[in-house]
Structure 1
């Protein structure tokens, strides 16, 4: 900041005072604002611009492009633009500029983050691990049910005994918007649930209807489920953190990969809009793309220079055979 011309630096100092004294923002927040403004000031200085009024909409859009080239995502760029917008609001109030170039500039949209999915073999290894006590018998039943039927965490902890029909391999859950849906339960999950129900009475308080209970015999809390699944993963050798949404995502992705039936997966997950479910088609496509790249003779990447030279040497050595 010391290399910046006074015409840029003094305005930044005034803005810092405004944030701290008038807006009463925390030092941490002030630091973030000033860092983003300083980044813009450095770019103006590199273009030999010495006054904030010289920045127009086109110049600011070029700044956004440069931030994107540096690897910043849409959210980070939006934060930069928010800081610049507020800075120019301050400068307008001070009469230092005539307009705010950030008003009509928008950050690029961030790509939708794809959910992580567990490997099928890894999940099978975790689900087949031995349960060493009553609580682990319960934990395995929860794991099996979430992966078997794609339950949300809230649906799992809200489950009551009357909602299960193990002989019919079904469970009734209350989902978002108080919508009820009936889900199939796989044989492995039925067996795990039966094993848990055989020992559940040793923990249950009188009149408690919840399927999954804490050590104190009460309905298990969402936070406890998260902690217990994480513990299971740590003790049973998972190579990634085990949590309820990982099991739900894995259920959806593995089912879609095998069946290709997006509508069925939507119904099972309880999504009101199929566009919510379509994220799993991207996951499935990533898998298919990897298979294609590895298998199709016209899809393989060209070898690098070293590999090309090695191949040429092999070819020339065989020419005399």
Structure 2
């Protein structure tokens, strides 16, 4: 495939239809604008280009031009995407690319208006987050560390699960932001909103053990609570890899990742307390609707128990006459 910023000689093809230059040139110029002026990532540019070429082939097949496309044409196009099996999130990405593209064309005075304004993708079915079993987490977190880095890893994972932190919040934690005597941590979350969270007894013990090791590992003046081999602040990707490794080495039944621990914290807290507002505050959710997904998880758990246990709910085994 040609470069996202290729010029007039580009003869890119989407599907079976080779697009003529009047269709390609505006797309290539828009992608060049995203790349050079907006500093968009290569992945974003590639996805936008692919989505716009898909629309271009559709509209070209209908005998339209970029300037002739109207809102009702795009509404029909969205319907065709849905019929082809594309999900709500993918269609939303298509519409985002189209809106930005037409905003660019309006700015360049190539079209008079943006036909994608006001269009919405079909509502995507919300996936329930995965959670880990309480007993499995207990077993994994009780597994003894084998070396200094595993002492750190255990402390990180205890803190993730104990306080329900996002991985970005974990790696941003400094030694000064955690008070082990008071068993609490001060976290700067999304929107730079600060919240004070309790830290469990097991997590405090694991962090104390790590601080002994950290003293001989951290670079001079490094404020981060969790550091790597070189003594500097650990990154989110390193936390992800170490958690996956911990699960593999310690015998986890599922792949471990930081947000699984956050989901598990939320689900287990809600299951025990039933206090949705408290869980919302602990997680740092601005909108309680975001937290309510865990009520669906809790209901799903209850429904499964019901199906397994109630004599009128269980399926009878088929028997031969």
TM-score clears 0.5: yes
Partner residue of 1:196 out of 210, 213, 218: 210
> What secondary structure, in the 3-state scheme, does the structure 1 residue paired with 2:165 have?
coil
1:130 paired with 2:119, answer: no
Distance 1:289 1:70, change over 3 A: farther
Distance 1:40 1:114, change over 3 A: farther
**Is the 2:280–2:291 contact (alpha carbons within 8 Å) kept by the matching residues of 1?**
yes
Distance 1:60 1:174, change over 3 A: closer
1:272 paired with 2:291, answer: no
1:106 Cα shift?
3.8
CA displacement 1:15-62 (0-9 Å, x = unmatched): 5444467657699665543444545778x7xxxxxx559x99778656
Normalised TM-score (structure 2): 0.69
CA displacement 1:238-282 (0-9 Å, x = unmatched): 344322222112111111122111111112122333233223223
In 2, Cα distance between the equivalents of 1:175 and 1:14? 50
**Is the 1:36–1:83 contact (alpha carbons within 8 Å) kept by the matching residues of 2?**
no
Partner residue of 2:133 out of 116, 119, 135: 119
Which residue does 1:291 correspond to in 2?
A: 305
Which stretches in structure 1 are left out of the alignment for 5+ residues?
Answer: 45-50
1:69 Cα shift?
3.9
**Is the 2:163–2:198 contact (alpha carbons within 8 Å) kept by the matching residues of 1?**
yes
**Is the 1:134–1:199 contact (alpha carbons within 8 Å) kept by the matching residues of 2?**
yes
In 1, Cα distance between the equivalents of 2:74 and 2:178? 59
1:206 Cα shift?
4.4
> What secondary structure, in the 3-state scheme, does the structure 2 residue paired with 1:68 have?
helix
Q: Say what the alpha-carbon RMSD is for the aligned residues.
A: 4.3
**Is the 1:172–1:180 contact (alpha carbons within 8 Å) kept by the matching residues of 2?**
no
Partner residue of 2:187 out of 153, 160, 174: 174
Q: How many residues are treated as equivalent by the alignment?
A: 289
Which residue does 1:282 correspond to in 2?
A: 296
1:120 Cα shift?
2.4
**Is the 1:172–1:182 contact (alpha carbons within 8 Å) kept by the matching residues of 2?**
yes
Which residue does 2:5 correspond to in 1?
A: none
Larger radius of gyration: 1
> What secondary structure, in the 3-state scheme, does the structure 1 residue paired with 2:197 have?
strand
Distance 1:40 1:282, change over 3 A: farther
| Higher relative helix content | 1
In 2, Cα distance between the equivalents of 1:277 and 1:224? 27
Which residue does 1:233 correspond to in 2?
A: 247
In 2, Cα distance between the equivalents of 1:299 and 1:36? 49
Which residue does 2:52 correspond to in 1?
A: 33
